[in-house]
Every structure is written in structure tokens, then in C-alpha cells.
């Protein structure tokens, strides 16, 4: 009688475990069930690996970074101080420009004022040729004033009779019928105008001609 070979239960368990596929959840459960000593050893090894992966700064590198940081801070403070000083200087220059913008022009007008004071001090009674002296003084004063105007680019707006009305330079004070001047043309200048460079300071005040009425056109019979 032949006796069959008996299977060992432990061998069957090993064969079943080898044939079964690995499950990550099962592995995690096994790792959690491991003794505390083995788990701590695994955690320390991971921490050491992470620390070895991170770059370690030397004292020399830290000193260099501190020195660079201090230098950048000094440069920033100096740049901010320079900007603040420039802003204050600009504000002072703007304030002085507004306050003393007419300083040069006022200095030129002082000569005109002196000439007018001199003309006023002339005795008009009991002297010969006083009128001629006054006229000469006035002409000299006007020349000084014209020179000051030219120096500061102040120009006259002086239209002539017969010029066409320019609304940008002339101000029509009234209309007057005229047979000698065309309508919408200047027939009389009341006051000169002035401009500073290209900006109009004051328009020339004029009287503008218009077409005469019917009665004014007809002339009486001789």
C-alpha cells in the first residue's frame, strides 16, 4: 500500500503569500504595526537624508550676505536722501522763479522811471526852450521803454487804417459808417495792443468801418 506525501500547512501558507500581489495599503499597515524602534529608525534615516540634501551655509557665506545687505541698505539711504534734497531744491527754485519772474523786467523799467522823474522836475516857467527839452526827454524815455520791451520780447500790435479786422489781435469797440474804408476793416485805432512772444497781452482797440446808410451814401446836389 502506497502512502501519499502529506502537505505541510506552513508550506501552503508561504506559497499563497508568494502568489498574492503586493498591496501598498497592506504594506503601510504592516509598517504601522512594526515595533517603535524600527519605525523611529526609519524616520531618523529619512530626516538625515533630507538634511544632507539641503545646502549648508558656512560662516563665511553668512558674513558675506550680511556685508552685502548692509551695503545695499547704505546705497538705498543715500539715494533716498539725494532724491529728497533734489525735491527741496526744485521747490525752492520754483518758488524763486515765481517770486522774482519780473526781476529783470522791473530793473529795466527803473531807467524809464528815472527819466520820467527827471522830466517832472524841469521848471516850465521863465525858461526858454523848455518845451523842446520836455519833448526830447519824452522821446528818450520812449526809446528806453522800447528797448526794455525788445529785451523781453514784448511787441506792439499796431494796425493801420484800412487793415482787415483780426479778432485774434484786434478788439472792435464800435462800428462807424465809412465811404473811404471797406466794411469790416479798421477805420481808426484807439489804442495799441501788445503781445509777449506769441501770447496776446492786450488786443488793439479799434473802430471798424461799416457800410453807410442810404442817406449817407447820397450826396446833396450843388
- The confidence band for 76, taking pLDDT boundaries of 50, 70 and 90, is very high
- The confidence band for 191, taking pLDDT boundaries of 50, 70 and 90, is very high
pLDDT score, position 217: 57
The CATH H-level (homologous superfamily) assignment of domain 154-215 is Head domain of nucleotide exchange factor GrpE (2.30.22.10)
pLDDT score, position 128: 72
**Does the predicted TM-score (pTM) go above 0.85?**
no
Query: Would the pLDDT of 198 be above 50?
Result: yes
- Mean pLDDT of all residues in the chain? 78
pLDDT top residue among 101 and 127 = 101
Query: Would the pLDDT of 212 be above 80?
Result: yes
How much of the chain exceeds pLDDT 90, in percent? 37
- The confidence band for 61, taking pLDDT boundaries of 50, 70 and 90, is confident
Instruction: Give the up-direction half-sphere exposure of residue 140: CA atoms within 13 A in the CB hemisphere.
Output: 14
What are the boundaries of each domain within the chain?
A: 103-151, 154-215
- The confidence band for 218, taking pLDDT boundaries of 50, 70 and 90, is low
The span from the first CA to the last CA of the chain, in angstroms, equals 182
pLDDT score, position 221: 46
Separation CA 160–CA 193 (nearest Å): 12
Amino acid at each position: 500500500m502506497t502512502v501519499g506525501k502529506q502537505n505541510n500547512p506552513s508550506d501552503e501558507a508561504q506559497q499563497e503569500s508568494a502568489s498574492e500581489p503586493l498591496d501598498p495599503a497592506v504594506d503601510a499597515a504592516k509598517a504601522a504595526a512594526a515595533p517603535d524602534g524600527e519605525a523611529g529608525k526609519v524616520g531618523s534615516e529619512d530626516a538625515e537624508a533630507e538634511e544632507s540634501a539641503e545646502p549648508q551655509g558656512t560662516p563665511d557665506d553668512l558674513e558675506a550676505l550680511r556685508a552685502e545687505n548692509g551695503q545695499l541698505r547704505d546705497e538705498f539711504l543715500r539715494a533716498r536722501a539725494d532724491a529728497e534734497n533734489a525735491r527741496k531744491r526744485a521747490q525752492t527754485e520754483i518758488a524763486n522763479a515765481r517770486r522774482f519772474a519780473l526781476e529783470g523786467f522791473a530793473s529795466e523799467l527803473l531807467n524809464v522811471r528815472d527819466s520820467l522823474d527827471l522830466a517832472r522836475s524841469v521848471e516850465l516857467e521863465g525858461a526858454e526852450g523848455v518845451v523842446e527839452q520836455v519833448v526830447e526827454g519824452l522821446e528818450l524815455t520812449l526809446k528806453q521803454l522800447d528797448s526794455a520791451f525788445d529785451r523781453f520780447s514784448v511787441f506792439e500790435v499796431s494796425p493801420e487804417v484800412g487793415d482787415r479786422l483780426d479778432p485774434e489781435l484786434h478788439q472792435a469797440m464800435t462800428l462807424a459808417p465809412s465811404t473811404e474804408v471797406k466794411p469790416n476793416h479798421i477805420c481808426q485805432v484807439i489804442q495799441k495792443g501788445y503781445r509777449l512772444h506769441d501770447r496776446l497781452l492786450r488786443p488793439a482797440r479799434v473802430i471798424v468801418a461799416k457800410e453807410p446808410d442810404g442817406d449817407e451814401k447820397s450826396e446833396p446836389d450843388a
